[in-house]
Structure formats: structure tokens, C-alpha cells
Structure 1
């Protein structure tokens, strides 16, 4: 990496600007993006590569590598046939809308309630299947509240100016869509009025992003009959039997307060409003599957929210649509073609190296008791590692059968059918053992994750390239990039959420009381370190971002130790690559949206604040009291 663009005079005062300032000044956010930078550049390059390959798939110069790719090709072909989508107009959606219109009472709805969910139609609550937090070997039934029109309940507060600006944009967009599907202007306005009223009654009772960030508070097991008794108007026993074949003894309720208020929200007086709320959700959710005009208008609200100047180009949107449904199939193709076994092994070795560093640090930790240390190391050694791409495609995708346009298929109906297969498959997993070989991310995703319920870390192939990782980069650069990302994911096993799960993925306190108190105090320091920092004209929420900040801090300090263990160590390169991977330029709207709902701190602050906690940073760049990057020793937070 060349250091010639680094502003040496700024390093001690503003590290992020010193490393990235020139890049930020010259970077242009593409008009169909809300941001650009390290992660986004990789996404764009992968999209370009795959779209190029799939052009060849469509024109026949490349053959599908397996049956799943053959089905993907048919769906991609339908998504790319803009003329046909234009001719079809709103017609594919009309049967779905008619189905909602035909429901005149709760009795009508109860006749078809489980099929309503299997068909992907909205209800004012959500049922799903996930691993049981207290018995993570088996899948359990979960019940949650409804999702609102605006991104978070905080937008509905009277004193939140963003909500007051955004709701009219949402309303205007939906009214246009409704007239395009055949309602007249007055009907469209009435539908939106009623839907907004209903939506506003939901908002006070659902959890905010900050409340959801405390993951373990989602675990509220209830007897199923108790939940059903809180819901007057829906036949919940019949409903659940249609989904999982029987009435379960138990359901895990993620938002108990919502169900306590349920009958205030859903009753005979609000039936009409609820129905219109459903129509709005369906029309908005389907716009991207119809003609170009539908897609353009249907994206108005999200573009306003994120500050994008224009919609994604039609061809790219078609690629996102088809590859989104066939994500693991596309990921398998990408991983095998562009990643390969050698790189898979190399990165796997790196993960093992980071785990070894972590183990050493845990064993030398000076504030954990021996018992807690032993349990932490047991959990660390039980961590499952997935790198690159899964060994085989999830068998669910073999069920996806697409009716091609030659056989009279249309995009909307095919997507509806595939969604139904996915939903049925999900509910068939109830009470079954959890399959830990299934990945939640496809190999072409520029990201990584840790799952506390499975105690597994996953590094898709797409993130395993420069600036994160490259055979061309020095070991210090790689540790400042992918090494810190790997250790970040490991650290999630020991953040304020992950630390409450044991090596099997069960919610189970394995800490001594004293150790947990000490950890909570350190976590509180991390909250304070970020809380209230100025960004994009607003303030960072330390509670919302604490788990990711703990993982960043642990990731960076462990990667630093690993880098110091190499023969070619260069800590300047290490820290500079850490700042480089977080380089981002975003629209103001997108920054403000993320401050409200994202559990990650802004990328600039991730780069800038975390290095201040590390003694080696001060030594490497000779940062002294009085310098902008200096933080008093008693304010520095070191947890792992």
C-alpha cells in the first residue's frame, strides 16, 4: 500500500482524515447509491462481475453449472424482460389485492389465516421459527409485533422532525401506486388515511432499534394458550395448526407489551383500517416486481430515506431481485469460481490463528476468575468456523421451480411461488434439530457474522479481498483488515449479548457474579465512550451501538497482538489499513437513518475512536497529550 496520499501532518489530530481525507474529497457517491467506500466498492465490483457472467448465461454462451442455476436463469430472464413487465402492468398483482378486498370480516380472514401467512400477506403480528434460545439444538416458534411504515418507532415521536418529513413522502408514493393499480384518487387517499391511522396505533407498542439491540430481552416464553387468549379476533389455534401441524405448548414472544395492547390495536372498530394497512403493505412490497414505472415510484420513499438521487438501474435491479431469491445458488457459483479451495484454506488458517491469540489473551486476562476463564475458553474452542462458501447448496433451493416466459410464466407469480416454498420450509422446521451447516449469508455478500445461538462465525468469500485481505498485502495490513474483522466476529461471542450464551448456543449464565459485574462496568464505559458523539448533525446512541463497539475493540486489540507476532510486523501499516477499510462517503440522509436504527457506530468513528484505546497507537504515531487523537488513560476502554 502506498502511503503517499496520507496527510502526515494530520495523523496525530484526526487519524481518519489523515488516512482517508484525500479519498473522501475526491470520491463521488454514484447517483443510485447512498454511500461509497471500502465495502461498497467491493459490492459494486462483485455485482459487475456476476452481471457480466449472467449476461453470458442468458445469451447461451455460458451453460448453467447445475439444475439450480438453470432455474435461476429462468427467473433472471423474466426479471430482465422489461417489455413483458411493461405489458403485464399491474395485472399480476390484481388477484392478490382482490383477495384482500374480498375479506369483509374477521371470520372471512380466519377461514384462510394460515394460508394468508404462507402466501406472504401481512398480518398485524409475525410468526417465525428460530433456534430456541434456552435449548439451541431445536427450533422453536417465535411471535413478534408488526413492522411499521417508518423505519423505527422513534420516528413517530411528535418531537422527531424526520418522521414529520417522511410520512408525507410515504403517503404520496403509496397514493400514486394505488391509482396505478386501479383505485381512483379519492379511494387511494382514503386507503392511505386509514392505513396510516392503523400504523400509528402500532408504533407505541413495538420495540425500538435500541430496545431490540438487547438481544436476550427477546426471550419471553409463554404458553401458547396464554398468547392466544390475548388475541380476541384471530383464531390463533387454527392459525398455528395450519402452519406447524399442531398447537404447540409454548411460543417465545419477542415483544410481550405489543400483545398486551393487541386488542386495542386490532378490533371490530379498526378492521377496515387494518385491511387498508394490508393493501398498502402489499402494493408497496410488490412494486419492484411490476413495470419500470411501478419500480421507480415504489422506491421513492427509500430513496428519500437514504438520500439516493436516482433508482438503481433496471438491469441491476433485475439482477438483485433474481440473485436475492437464489442467493445461495449465486453464492455457490461465485465462491467456486472466484475464491477457490486455496484461499478458503488460507483464511481458515488465519481464523484459527486469531482464535489462538484470543485464547492466549483470555488465559492471561487479569480481571476474570479462573472458573469464568475456563468457560470462556471452552466456548471459544467450540466455535464453528465457516469460510468462503458452504460445501453444498442448501437443499431448499432444489425445490425452486420457475415457470419460464415461454411456458406463460410471469415474474410476480414465480416470486410469489418461491416465497411460499421458503415460508412453508421455515415452518416445517418447528421442533426439528437446528441445522448448523446452513449459512445465513451467501458467499457473494461483503460481510461476516457471528451467531450466538449456533456459536458459529461465518466469513463469506466476497469480503476476503483487498483492502481486507490480499496475498499482495503485508501481514500487518491483512491483520489490520481481515484480521480485525475476524477477531471482531469472535468478540461477538463475548459482547454484552453473546456473553450470555454458552458454548452450545444456549442462553445460560456461565459467569461468576463478580466477573459479570466487572464486565458490565466495562461495557458501561464503552457506552459512555461513544454516547453523545456528534455526527451528521445528530448524536451517536451508545446503548444502540454497544455490542458492535465491544466487538470492534476486541477485534482490533486481538488483531494487533497477532500482527505483533509476525516477523514482518509494521504497526503503522496495521493501523492505516484499519482506517482504510472504514473509508466511507455517505449522503447526510443515510448517515442520519443509520444513527437511528443501525447497531454499528458510524464507520468514521469506528476507525477513529477505537485506536485511541490502544497504547500501541500512541507509540506508533507519537501521539501526545494535547494532540486531537489523545485520550486520557483513565478514559480508554479495554475489555478483551
Structure 2
């Protein structure tokens, strides 16, 4: 049975002008308990709980009714579920056999081969690969393989600045448990690479044969053959972190090959750790989930199975979910609503006081050309059914990951039309903007209450879903988005005056968040700038769209709708986090804490002051001339 998502009475003991977030959400925060297997619980999780009820019913049906004589989605999902419940010792033996294969690493070409193998199976290592659709200078949309800086074992480079003894002891302990040679030197190698992790990277396109010239000591041939790409010289790739590739070349001379072998073994172990028998999965929980995030309990088998299905067989699950539970009318209503936000975004740009006339014209074209992908794709990506071993979960994870990479390789450098096919599952509660093709994606999961509902007021829908849409559209003009034009081509189209004023207005926002604290820790205003710009500009876009809709309302009804707008926005960010999770997010997350995403944003709007009667003396009061706007 679906759980009703409740909006408790607002806390009248708190003045909305002193802490609007708590005025709206305090009673909910006091009532709600974070599930033991999570470290954070928000509106997104509330919606996901109800979506999960639908997904669990699909999984149950697949498990009970899969027919091994048929080669279909139900059989695939059903067999995968069975493997998730099978003996974990089989997965342990599978891992040990894979580790044994790494003992052959002797040369730099061998390093390239193993790197390719790990990337092919989506195991975090010194390189990360993924497929994107991007526009070329000829205005063609082609699939490009991106090679980016690696993903290390700890969640942020900050952690490598502290004492690593506990992390190193984990390495040693795992070595003993698995009865393999000590792999603790991998921590030294990770620590070296962590110094060069960069939040901002700029990529370039290279033909395969250009890679051989530009990075001559990187083992490209063995890497790509292992990854699954023959004749890589004829393809075009995006190197997203050029200096990282140079660093890898340098590291081959600085560290012995044995250290790389140890690191690759550690990569494989960490990847497999949650799926292994005791004491391995408990070690994973205690170190990564409990110590870093504050999670109080290991995830249940039922929820782990669903999580695995979402991650490794998302396309079949998304198709079955869409066929059984989603109605076309939802997509139709949302599309009409989103178009009103697009129109408002155009008006926001046209009335902007600091963008130059030429830049405004191009910015308007960028919004007009933005591809809106709503609910679910017109055409799902090609999906090849893999052979699933009912008795070996880890083998299936390897199989499904490599099958996904193989599908990506089949698309490599081929043309496609943006907005027709996309991989984001329909059941996800999130939204995305992709600079490279100027595309906005909002899966069906985000189109439900309390973001959006048939029985909600206009103000409520615009403060919820409207602000989400506005947020993603404004990303097209944040510090990254402004580097791409209306076609998604990276080029300089802002004038120097635009950049000058942008920096002035951005600095105000950076200072505002730098001066804000959570648990006596300052927010990083630089790191969170893009998201803060999107929050502020997105709410402004949604507000202006609402005001157009209610311009003929009488004063009383207009006030009600505007109140609903801000109340809905505050509810959309309500989140209860374990303290450890909050502190980790301050280090790793490019988003500001939810309370500040509300309080530091709503008090920039004159309308908020008017409809909630906010006065001088209230803690959130800002003098009108000091209120910030970027867009």
C-alpha cells in the first residue's frame, strides 16, 4: 500500500522570518525517523518509497513467473534476483579467481590491459570511462567515449590529507582475510593521485592516432583492446582530464609495477565488498556506510536486491515500470507545464540588466533550442539480454557491466538525435541538464506529489516542480553552462562585459554561502556556486511563471498562491540527515545543505517578504538593495 506523503502543520513557534526552512519543516523533522539502512531521508526518498512498492511488485512477478525457456526481461530480472539471494561464497571464489589473474602484471602494457578490464566492468580505478552524446562543430550529435580522472577508494581528496592508518589497516586486514599478499601499498599510490584530483577539468577531442602522439607513453593499445575497442585509431575520444593522463604517464616511472598491481587488486575488492559473505560485507558497512555516513544498519536483502536491479538492469526495469504504472497523460501535463517555465526563462534572460544585447539574443536561442526530455524516452536504448548465472551475483555484475560497455562501444561515434533515446530510468526522482547537447531530462519519478499534483494549487506546483525545472534550465548559464552554445558546442559566446558582471554577481553569492555555517562548519561558496546560481535563478524563473498565471487573481487569492509557492519550495528540500552524512557532504557535495538552499534563497525575493510579513529585525531580513540576483 502506498504511503501518504504528509505535510504536517507549520511550526508556529518559529517565526518564518527567522528560519523559514524550520518554520515549514520542523514538525516533519521531529516526526520522521531516518530508516536505519539510510543516512539521509528527504522528499525524494518519500516519493521513491511509493515507486519502490511498484518496483517490488515487478520484481516479485519476475521472480515467480520467469521462464527459462524464454529470453526476455522477466527471465533476466528473475534470474538476477535469484543470484542476489544465492550463496555469497560463490561470489568470493569468483573474486579470488579474478585476483589471481592479476599476478601476471609485469609491464606497463599489462597495466594498460588491466585498466581497460576494470573500466570495462565499471570498477572504480585510476581512469573513469563513460559515453556521452555531444555536438560536433559540424552540428552533428555523435556518441563519444569520455576518459576522465579516476575514482579512488575514499569519497574525496580531503580524506587523504588526514591520517590514513585506519584505511591502510583495512587494506592489510582484507589481505589477510583473502589470504593474498599484502596490498597496503595501494593506499600510498591512491594518496599520490588524490593530490591531483580536480573539481574543474576541461576536455578536448582527440582522434585515436592523436592519442599516440600526445600521450606516447600511455599503453593505449593494450588499454583499448582490453576495453573492447579494436582499431581505436579510427575513433574520436574526449579526454576530459588531460593533465590526469600526463600524471598517469609520469606515475609509471615513479612507482614500481607491483604497486599498481596492489592497487588494482584493491579496486576489485572494494567493488565486490558489499556482495561478499561475512565478515566482508560487514567491513564494508562499518567503514564506508557507518563511519563515513552515519548509517545505523546494513541494508536489508530485499532493498539490496532492488538497489542492484536499479543499478545493473535499469533499462529492462524502467521499461516494465513504464508499461505497467505510467500514463501518457502524466507526460502530457508535465510537458505543458514545463513549456511555461521555458517561456518564463526566456523572459528572465530578455529582462536581465547586465547581459549584453548580443549575448541575450544567443542565450534566448539556447533556451529555445533546449531539448526537453520528459518522463520516459520515445525509444529506449538497445539492450542485449545477457546470460545470467542464478548462483553467482558477482559474476552477473561483471557480465551486465561489460554488456553495457559493449552496447556503448557499438554506438561509438555514431549519430543520434538528442531527446529520442536516453538511459536515465523513468523511476528516478531527479533531473539532469547536459551541456554537451543542451538537453534537459526529467524522469517520471520527479513528476509526482509533493513536487507536482492535479489537486495542488498553481503556487504549490510552481514552487515544487517549477523550481526544479527552472533550476535545470539555469544550469545552461552557470559557470560551466555558459561555456556551451545553443547547440552544445563548446565555444566563447559571452562578451568580456558579460564575464565581468557575472563575476561581480557571483561573488555576492559566494560570500553569502561562505559566511553560512552548518554544525559550526562553513559552506564552500566556490564549490557550491553552480548549484546556488541554479537554485536562485530557478526559483526566480518559476516565480515569474506563476505571477503570469495569477495576474488576474484578486489580492487575497494572489497572496495565497504566492505563499503556497514558497511553502512548496521549502517542503521540496526537507531532509533529515545523520550528522556524519552532513559533515561528509560539506566536503564532497557540490550542493549546499538543504536548509541553506531554502533560507539563503527565499530571502532574496521581495514577494517572500510581502506575503509572510517579514520585517526589519527578523533574522533572515536583508535590506532590499542587498538582495542578490544573478539571473
Taking a change above 3 Å as real, the CA distance of residues 370 and 63 of structure 1, as seen in their structure-2 partners, is farther
Structure 1 CA distance, aligned partners of 2:186 and 2:19? 48
CA 1:225–1:480: 2 relative to 1, 3 Å:
same
**Residue 459 of structure 1: SS of its match in structure 2?**
strand
Report deviation, 1:146: 2.5
- Cα deviation for residue 58 of structure 1 reads 1.6
584 and 273 in structure 1: CA distance in 2 versus 1, 3 angstrom threshold: same
**Does structure 2 retain, via aligned residues, the 8 Å contact 1:491–1:554?**
yes
- Residue 635 of structure 1 and its aligned partner are, at CA, apart by 2.7
- Measure how far apart 1:134 and its partner are: 5.7
C-alpha deviation, 1:375, in angstroms? 1.2
8 Å CA contact 1:127–1:141 kept in 2: the answer is: yes
Q: How does 1:120-131 map to 2 (within 5 A)?
A: 120=122, 124-131=126-133
Does 2:231 match 1:218?
A: no
Deviation at 1:38, TM superposition (A): 1.4
How far apart are residue 487 of structure 1 and its match? 1.1
For residues 146-174 of structure 1, what are the alpha-carbon distances to aligned partners after superposition, in whole Å with 9 as ceiling and x for unaligned? 322221222222xxxxx43xx44434444
1:638 paired to 2:629: yes
Give per-residue Cα distances to partners, 1:310-368, cap 9 Å, x unaligned.
11111211221123111122222223333311111011110011111222222233333
User: Partner residue of 1:160?
Assistant: none
Q: CA deviation at 1:546?
A: 0.8
Pick aligned residue for 1:191 from 183, 190, 208: 183
User: Aligned pair in 2 of structure 1 residues 584, 322: CA closer, same or farther (>3 Å)?
Assistant: same
Residue by residue over 1:512-558, the C-alpha shift from the partner in whole angstroms, topping out at 9 and shown as x without a partner, is 33223222322222222212311133111111111111111111111
Q: Once the two structures are superposed, what CA deviation does each residue of 1:569-610 show, in whole Å capped at 9, x if it has no partner?
A: 421111111111111110111111111121111111001110
In the other structure, the counterpart of 1:181 is 178
Residue correspondence of structure 1 range 252-291 to structure 2 within 5 A? 252-267=238-253, 269-291=255-277
Aligned match of 1:507:
490
For residue 583 of structure 1, the aligned residue among 574, 581, 585 is: 574
Does residue 301 in structure 1 map to residue 287 in structure 2? yes
SS in structure 1 of the partner of residue 526 of structure 2: helix
1:235 aligns with: 219
Displacement of 1:219 in angstroms is: 2.1
Q: Deviations over 1:414-436 (max 9, x none)?
A: 22122111122323333222452
Compute the TM-score of the two structures, normalised by the length of structure 2.
0.89
Give the whole-Å Cα distance in 1 for the aligned partners of 2:115 and 2:59. Answer: 39
Higher mean displacement: 431-440 or 318-327: 431-440
SS at match of 1:503: coil
| Residue equivalent to 1:10 | 15
| 1:201–1:265 Cα contact (<8 Å) kept | no
Mapping 1:305-384, distance limit 5 Å? 305-384=292-371
Aligned counterpart, 2:147 = 143
Equivalenced residue count is 612
What is the aligned-residue RMSD (CA, Å)? 2.9
Deviation at residue 267 of structure 1 after TM alignment = 3.2
Counterpart CA distance in 2 for 1:120 and 1:557 is 39
In the aligned structure 1, how far is the partner of 2:244 from the partner of 2:15? 50
Partner of 1:626: 617
CA contact (8 A) 1:126 1:143 kept: yes
Structure 2 CA distance for aligned equivalents of residues 112 and 21 of structure 1: 51
Q: CA deviation at 1:108?
A: 4.5
Distance across 1 between alignment mates of 2:310 and 2:505: 42
Q: Take 2:620 and 2:70, find their aligned partners in 1: how far apart are those partners?
A: 52
Moved more, 359-368 or 325-334: 359-368
Q: Show the counterpart of 2:196.
A: 205
Residues 230 and 262 in structure 1, CA contact (< 8 A), matched pair in contact too: no
Asked if 1:469 is matched to 2:469, the reply is no
User: Of residues 81, 87, 90 in structure 2, which corresponds to 1:88?
Assistant: 90
TM-score normalised according to structure 1 size: 0.88
How far apart are 1:285 and its partner, in Å?
A: 0.3
Q: Which moved more, 1:12-21 or 1:236-245?
A: 236-245
Superposed CA deviations along residues 366-424 of structure 1, whole A, max 9, x for unmatched, are: 333332222111111111111111233211x2x1323343xxx5222222122111122
Q: 1:27 to 1:72 in 2, by over 3 A?
A: same
Does the Cα contact within 8 Å between 2:207 and 2:237 map onto a contact in 1? yes
Measure, in 1, the Cα distance between the counterparts of 2:386 and 2:392: 13
Q: Which residue of 2 aligns with 1:422?
A: 404
* Unmatched tracts of structure 1, length 5 or more: 158-162
Distance of aligned partners of 1:37 and 1:65 in 2 relative to their CA distance in 1, 3 Å threshold: farther
Q: Is the 8 A contact 2:66 2:74 kept in 1?
A: no
Unaligned runs of 5+ in 2: 1-5, 551-556
Q: What SS does the aligned partner of 1:458 have?
A: strand
| Contact kept? 2:604, 2:628, Cα under 8 Å | yes
